[in-house]
């Protein structure tokens, strides 16, 4: 068996399509088919259901897929461990981010300043993903409570406040009461968003059923709409601060403390590389010493 067989096999299994997988490897389809055929011949079983262009794993394929992922990870991990052991750290540290799009560049910049030799790759996700299903070493994500998940740690408790336009009369205040909020129109995230669910929970607890001005899941859009006084929005403090929007005021909510949590998670199986350890330590310190700009 060759590792290349397994790499092609995994990609085909994930794309359900030979030509798509081939295109991603920059090879012709027949090359990929041949590798898959060789693999099937060597193992003496078929691995896929074939139906026109669509091919899906059969029971044998599912068995091989699970083990093939483990096998490639074992080899990848041993390369990293040897690199760590010889103090080289010459591999790529892959970080998945599912939160704080505005702040991540600052964090990366800061990390690069301290560890210029560690190669980084950042992969963005829109939502929480299971890190074990990816090739990523670390995952940054937010949640509505401190994490209890294994191999993860909460690194920041982020306040949620009310963003209002400078033109809004509330902008002259420092804080806002539940009663005042109840009278505003809200620009809200859609039901697909974890943040929407979290803020709905807080609003329900306050007995507020907000009037919706607009729904958007695109943060720059939300900021723009708030700035032009189309409505107010509940926003996490860092998201707001690093957006550096002018014409927006961020008000503390007086009746209740609203928070969300920023967490870092690493893979539950396999070797945690030195670079990953360094990054976890670094980002923990980063948030501990984070000074919020005025």
Partner 1 sequence: MELQQLEYFKKAAELEHITKAANELMLAQPALSKTIKTLEEELGAPLFDREKKRIRLNGNGRILLRCAGEVENCLAQIRRDLEQNQEKENKQITLLLKATPILLPKLIQAFSREYPDISFRMLTYNSSVDETKLQYDFIVNSSTRPSQDSNAMNFFQEEMVLAVPSQHPLAGRTVSLAEAKGENFISLPSQYSLHHEFLQCCREAGFQPHIVLESSDHFTILGMIEAEMGIALVPSISWGFQNMPGIAFVKVKEPACQNIVFLSWNTKHSLSKSCQRFLEFISDFANHPEDILRPFGRP
227 neighbors 240 (Cβ within 8 angstroms): no
214 neighbors 144 (Cβ within 8 angstroms): no
Q: Is 44 helix (H, G, I), strand (E, B) or coil?
A: coil
Element (H, E) at 75: helix 59-85
Q: Does residue 269 bind partner 1 (CB under 8 A)?
A: no
Q: Does residue 1 bind partner 1 (CB under 8 A)?
A: yes
What is the footprint of partner 1 within residues 2-31 (CB under 8 A)? 2-3
> Considering only 84-92, 132-140, 142-150, 281-289, which stretch makes contact with partner 1 by CB under 8 A?
84-92
Q: Does residue 88 bind partner 1 (CB under 8 A)?
A: yes
Q: Which residues contact 101 (CB under 8 A, 6 or more apart)?
A: 124, 219
User: Residues for the chain: how many in total?
Assistant: 294
Q: Does residue 67 bind partner 1 (CB under 8 A)?
A: yes
Q: Does residue 75 bind partner 1 (CB under 8 A)?
A: yes
Mapping DSSP onto H, E and C, the string for 78-137 reads: HHHHHHHHCCCCCCEEEEEECCCCCCHHHHHHHHHHHCCCCEEEEEECCCCCCHHHCCCC
> Considering only 20-28, 61-69, 108-116, 244-252, which stretch makes contact with partner 1 by CB under 8 A?
61-69
Shorter beta-carbon distance to partner 1: residue 89 or 213: 89
How far apart, in whole angstroms, are the C-alpha atoms of residue 96 and residue 77? 18
> Considering only 12-20, 71-79, 158-166, 174-182, which stretch makes contact with partner 1 by CB under 8 A?
71-79
Question: Least separation, in Å, of the C-beta of 22 and partner 1?
Answer: 21
Indicate which single residue of 26, 51, 289, 291 sits in contact with partner 1 (rule: CB under 8 A): 51
Query: Interface with partner 1 by CB under 8 A: which residues?
Result: 1-3, 43-45, 49, 51, 58-60, 63-64, 67-68, 70-71, 74-75, 77-79, 81-83, 85-86, 88, 90
């Amino acid at each position: 068996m060759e590792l290349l067989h397994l790499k092609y096999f995994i990609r085909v299994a994930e794309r359900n399509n030979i030509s798509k997988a081939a295109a991603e490897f920059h090879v012709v389809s027949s090359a990929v088919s041949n590798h898959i055929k060789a693999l099937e011949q060597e193992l003496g079983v078929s691995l896929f259901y074939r139906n026109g262009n669509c091919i899906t794993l059969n029971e044998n394929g599912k068995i091989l897929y699970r083990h093939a992922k483990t096998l490639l990870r074992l080899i990848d991990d041993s390369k990293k461990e040897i690199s760590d052991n010889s103090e080289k750290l010459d591999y790529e540290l892959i970080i998945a981010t599912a939160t704080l799009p505005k702040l991540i560049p600052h964090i990366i910049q800061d990390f690069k300043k301290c560890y210029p030799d560690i190669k980084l790759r950042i992969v963005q996700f829109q939502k929480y993903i299971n890190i074990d299903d990816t090739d990523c070493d670390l995952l940054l994500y937010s949640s509505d409570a401190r994490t209890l998940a294994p191999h993860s740690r909460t690194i920041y408790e982020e306040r949620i406040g009310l963003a209002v336009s400078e033109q809004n009369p509330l902008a002259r205040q420092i804080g806002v009461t539940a009663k005042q909020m109840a009278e505003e129109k809200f620009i809200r995230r859609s039901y697909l968003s974890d943040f929407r669910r979290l803020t709905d929970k807080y609003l329900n607890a306050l007995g507020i059923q907000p009037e919706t001005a607009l729904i958007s899941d695109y943060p720059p859009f939300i900021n723009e709409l708030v700035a032009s006084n189309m409505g107010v929005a509940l926003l996490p403090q860092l998201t707001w601060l690093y957006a550096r929007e002018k014409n927006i005021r961020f008000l503390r909510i007086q009746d209740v403390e609203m928070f969300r949590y920023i967490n870092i998670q690493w893979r539950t199986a396999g070797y945690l590389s030195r670079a990953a350890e360094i990054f976890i330590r670094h980002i923990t310190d980063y948030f501990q010493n984070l000074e919020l700009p005025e």
